[in-house]
Structure 1
Amino acid sequence: MSAYDLARGLHILAVIAWMAGLLFLPRLYAYDAEQADKPEPLRTQMRSLLQTWQQRLSGIILGPAMGAAWLFGGWLIWLDGTARGWSFLLEPWMIAKLAGVLALTGWHGFLTAEGRRVRAGTSVRTGRFWRMTNEIPFVIAIVMVLSVTTEWTLG
């Protein structure tokens, strides 16, 4: 097994975990937002449970998976750059992938900040908002995966 194969495999696993978290956390926020109509004490119990799940998902899976995806992706870039040269960083497929990484990282940051607002009781987002935005990471991932697997080029 080469270092490149190891880095690629670990990167793929980290991205799978990161994407799972990015797709599931907004659904938990939607469920949380919809508890306002529930009677007490069910509302309080459900919100407590949902917020525990949100914190665990963010802290145990989402954050570490993003860090690992960045780490192993950086390792892949370094391996490619030192073996083949750094010009691939200017290819349209790589620019699209890196733009996607930044977009997913930004969405991750937004979800993290919103989690703090949810726990503080200051979030104004509705369950409908979370359901409508839930697929944003997947759309970004489609562009990223297709740009890498087809290696869009300039010519």
Structure 2
Amino acid sequence: MAGLFYMVRLFIYHTEAQDKPEPARTILSEQFGIMERKLWWIITTPSMYLVLAAGILMLYLMPAWLQMGWLHIKLLFVVGLIAYHFICQNKMNQMRKGIFKWTSTQLRLWNELATLILFAIVFLVVLKNSLNWIFGVVGIIAFSVVLMMAVKIYKRFREKR
């Protein structure tokens, strides 16, 4: 998760570097590209495969957990996180080619999606069946609204500077 969080922060800085005058733009873009590739291929992607292997091993050792409803929902969020991972990889490859489709604000919102997925996964594991699902869904929606408002407020703050 830390690799995914930091990767998107690098995407934000990389995107904002495109507004800099030359030669700063080229220097920053090259440096961010190096940082992104190293983070991605040395830390983030190997970590994802280790976590997936550990999760599969856990389910192999505890197959009864597959009968629990909370685990099905958690696994849906895990699949979402895997999709998030590969979308980030695609973004990294686009930026390496000089294609910047998303603004820094859109990337900040994208970064918050990972926070929501992490929150949902931890929420499901810790609370399991002890909390009514309706309260859980309302809680995640409320948390989403708070995060989105925080991004918008931060954008206004940045623009005033």
**Would you call these one fold, judging by a TM-score over 0.5?**
yes
Distance 2:58 2:118 in 1: 18
User: Aligned residue for 1:130?
Assistant: 107
| Deviant stretches of 4+, over 4 Å | none
User: Aligned residue for 1:6?
Assistant: none
Q: Superposition pairs for residues 89-108 of structure 1, below 5 Å?
A: 89-108=66-85
Pair 1:37 & 2:14 matched: no
TM-score, length-normalised on structure 1?
0.80
SS in 2 for 1:134: helix
For structure 1, which segment, 90-99 or 58-67, has the greater mean C-alpha deviation from structure 2 after superposition?
Answer: 90-99
User: Aligned residue for 2:56?
Assistant: 74
Deviations 1:11-58 (A, max 9, x none): xxxxxxxx0011111111111111122111111101100110000111
Distance 1:36 1:150 in 2: 44
Unaligned segments of structure 2, at least 5 residues: 133-161
TM-score, length-normalised on structure 2?
0.77
Distance 1:152 1:20 in 2: 28
AA of the residue aligned to 2:28: M
User: Aligned residue for 1:3?
Assistant: none
Any conservation in 2 of the 1:91–1:152 contact (CA below 8 Å)? no
Q: Superposition pairs for residues 8-23 of structure 1, below 5 Å?
A: 19-23=1-5
SS in 1 for 2:100: coil
SS in 1 for 2:129: coil
Any conservation in 1 of the 2:18–2:29 contact (CA below 8 Å)? no
Higher relative contact order at CA 8 Å, sep ≥6: structure 1 or structure 2? 1
Unaligned segments of structure 1, at least 5 residues: 1-18
Deviation (angstroms), 1:119: 0.3
Deviation (angstroms), 1:128: 1.2
